[in-house]
Amino acid sequence: MSNRKYYLTTPIYYVNAAPHIGHAYTTIAAETIARLKRMQGYDVVLTSGTDEHGTKVERAAKAKGKTPKEYADIISADFQSTWKKLELQIDRFQRTTNENHARIVNELFERCLANGYIYKGTYTGLYAVVSEAFVNDAKPGDLDPETGKPYEEVTEENYFFKLSAFTERLLEYYEANPNFIRPDFRKNEVVAFVKQGLVDLSITRTSITWGIPVNHDPKHVFYVWFDALTTYMSAVDGEGRWPADLHLIGKEILRFHAVFWPAFLMAAGWELPKEVFAHGWLLFENDKMSKTRGNIVRPAPISETMGVDALRYFLLREIVFGQDGSFSFDALVGRYNSDLANGLGNLASRTLSMIQQYRGGVVPDAECDAAIGEAVTGGTAAALDAYEKFEFSRALEAIWNIISVVDKFIVERAPWKLAKDPHAQRKLDETLLTSAEALRVVTALVSPALPHAAQAIWRQLGFNEPVAALRTDALAWGSALAGQKIAEIKGVFPRLDLKPTVEKMQELEIVEKNRQAEMMGVPKTAEVAAAPVYIDIDDFTRVDLRVGQVKSAEPVKGADKLLHLKVDIGEAEPRTIVAGIALAYKPEQLIGRKVVIVANLAPRKLRGITSQGMIVAASLEGGAPVLAAFLEDVPVGARLK
């Protein structure tokens, strides 16, 4: 075993939802890095796990008639089974409910306390249950956009961490360690945030019981981030693996990993992780996936229909790692056919079939083509460089450039013609050996990203050792394949028809959603849409719908989706209405526009503004609202009947 250790982590996934393709995206990327590092000769450990404490879990469990631990057990087990279905090699799976984790969290607390960075105090504020955080800029009566309910006012005794003491230390650390946060534009965001000045952070709660007790003061339990982040250490407790070489995370939790976590470790006098890399969101047809939009995609239906490597390839090739990327079933099948079936799969099939047909399944002894050797060597260097920078799309592009060069070489050499010419047999041998050697290098090079297909091709090339055991020196051009007997040939990426493949994935998606719904104790998809709910005419006439004209519109401070409108509905004064349409309409587009208003809706406060009605809009599948409008001129204040 290598003395060089490499320790990397996925996020510790919260058990408020079953695993979906966004979780799979991060985990597949991390596992690809782990395979690459093993190829480079490192002794690698990859950790994943589940974050299981907090108010949301406590309330969700109660609503389903379960204890928090029973509820967490179900979701955590589903994460583990999903990674097994995707054949992901996770070396350590740590749960925040594991006993050794509680010990490490308390050790971190005691060190920070002894070093003067923790104190006891009280805090009163408005609390958002979904995000498990006090909302500093909210006002009494404001609604939580995640739940539609008012924020809860909470007063309780807390232990606070002196985050404010680390503003300059963190900035100095970022400056001295430029690769601590990647990509660079994410680092710039963090630096700008820290430069504004940091405020002390509550790290315990007394208002809940579902959490790790503070040994120093048992009526307190640890708050989510002080608890969850420490999982990266407890997962490898006693193994000599810390500090982590890499935390791989989504951009939405960067602040916690790049500000809170290093400050906690600095306060304790413990080593910091070497790098935090934040990737972008995976969007479904250009819209963020979320439970409320109902557009979450599960990975199992894709892997069951197209194979594990089809999903891996799409996520790593289609999306520039670090930026947001879009997912659609059509694009997935299109990328599969163009790159995997017509590219790697075709190169493997035609090369091995020709060796079988023209040389009885034995790779001939000849000289490799020098020009192809140079192209493969250059492409290999480019791919390895991109892999090292986590530029997976560029790495795979470099590999597929090699495939394209070799395909062109085969077409130009036309071995099917050479086979008929008795004077061209040496040239045929050179063509077959060159193609086989290129396929060998490509297979090894692509193995971190496509381990299962690579292993299948590797066996067909006649190798007995697993492709996962290869080291980077095996990528050198010119290794002796001559005389090697190839194995039985089987296609690795058969072409797929678009429509039936997408339909099958969508059918399995419903099955998987219903399985997860049953697991979590919520209504199934089919049951939700089963029967319409009818109202009578009296119910309808109670709704006062009026024609209104927008007089003014402006953004609501601190709310990306909200606009503050003044709407004339024929009364003495225009109505104030707060509408969640800012992502679809610019304020200047609305001035003078006639809209439909629910005029007898009870007033409610949104971001400190009292909204006196609701604007009527259609909610499209993509989530964008479209305002109701009129073809003819209708007077302001007219009632809809």
Q: What is the pLDDT of residues 57-95, one digit of tens each?
A: 888 888 888 999 999 999 999 999 999 999 999 999 999
Residue type (1 letter), 132: E
Q: Are 29 and 48 in contact (CB under 8 A)?
A: no
CA distance 422 to 418: 8
Instruction: Give the residue carrying structure tokens 């924020």.
Output: 151
pLDDT greater than 70 at residue 288: no
pLDDT greater than 60 at residue 592: yes
Q: Are 392 and 317 in contact (CB under 8 A)?
A: yes
pLDDT greater than 70 at residue 291: no
Q: Which two tokens stand for residue 107?
A: 């050790």
* pLDDT score recorded for residue 528: 35
E-strand stretches of 423-498: none
Which of 379-388, 525-534, 543-552 tops mean pLDDT? 379-388
* pLDDT score recorded for residue 6: 98
* pLDDT score recorded for residue 286: 55
**pLDDT tens per residue, range 185-205:** 999 999 999 999 999 999 998
Q: Are 119 and 160 in contact (CB under 8 A)?
A: yes
Helix, strand, coil % in the chain, rounded to nearest 5: 45, 20, 35
Cα 409 → chain centroid: 39
CA distance 49 to 229: 11
Count of alpha carbons within 13 Å of 350, Cβ hemisphere only? Answer: 20
pLDDT greater than 50 at residue 531: no
- The model's confidence at residue 285, banded by pLDDT at 50, 70 and 90, is low
CA distance 260 to 275: 14
* pLDDT score recorded for residue 619: 67
CA distance 484 to 486: 6
Mean pLDDT of 260-271: 98
- CATH architecture assigned to 537-627: Beta Barrel (2.40)
Q: Which two tokens stand for residue 161?
A: 């961490």
Q: Which two tokens stand for residue 231?
A: 């999982």
Q: Are 254 and 186 in contact (CB under 8 A)?
A: yes
- The model's confidence at residue 547, banded by pLDDT at 50, 70 and 90, is very high
Q: Hey, what's the torsion of the CAs at 493, 495, 499, 502, to 10 degrees?
A: 0
pLDDT greater than 70 at residue 522: no
Mean pLDDT of 212-232: 95
Residues of the chain with CATH 3.40.50.620: 5-279
* pLDDT score recorded for residue 530: 35
**pLDDT tens per residue, range 596-611:** 999 988 788 777 788 8
Q: Tell which phi-psi region holds residue 598, choosing left (phi > 0), alpha (psi between -120 and 50) or beta.
A: beta
Of 119-128, 426-435, 565-574, the one with minimum mean pLDDT is 119-128
Domain spanning 5-279: CATH 3.40.640.10: no
pLDDT greater than 50 at residue 532: no
* pLDDT score recorded for residue 501: 95
pLDDT greater than 60 at residue 457: yes
Residues of the chain with CATH 1.10.730.10: 326-531
DSSP designation for 362 = B
pTM as predicted: 0.79
* pLDDT score recorded for residue 367: 93
CA distance 332 to 311: 8
Residues of the chain with CATH 2.40.50.140: 537-627
Mean pLDDT of 297-319: 96
How large a percentage of the chain has pLDDT more than 70? 93
- Using CA of residue 355, residue 357, residue 360, residue 361, what is the dihedral sign? positive
326-531 CATH fold? Isoleucyl-tRNA Synthetase; Domain 1 (1.10.730)
Task: Please give the mean pLDDT across all residues of the chain.
Answer: 90
CA distance 18 to 138: 30
